[in-house]
């Protein structure tokens, strides 16, 4: 069920759709987002806190 992010190789946009511009998008690997990990950590904490508040 996880929201996988795909990238369209035709237009270069990131999308949640598996098809864009009439062709299949490519799944982005989590490793590609390693660069943002320090920010991702904050994001995860923020999300967790948000969940706890609900």
Residues making contact with Zn ion (CB under 5 A):
8, 10-11, 20-21
Q: How far is the CB of 12 from Zn ion (least distance, A)?
A: 7
Query: Which of 11, 16 has the CB closer to Zn ion?
Result: 11
Q: Give the other-Cβ count within 10 Å of 25's Cβ.
A: 22
Q: How far is the CB of 32 from Zn ion (least distance, A)?
A: 18
Are residues 22 and 11 in contact, defined by beta-carbon separation less than 8 angstroms?
no
Q: How far is the CB of 24 from Zn ion (least distance, A)?
A: 10
44: left (phi over 0), alpha (psi -120 to 50) or beta: alpha
């Amino acid at each position: 069920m996880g929201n996988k992010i795909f990238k369209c190789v035709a237009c270069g946009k990131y999308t949640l759709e598996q098809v864009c511009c009439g062709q299949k998008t490519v799944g982005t690997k989590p490793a590609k987002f390693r660069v943002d990990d320090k920010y991702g950590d904050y994001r995860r904490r923020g999300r967790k806190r948000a969940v706890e508040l609900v």
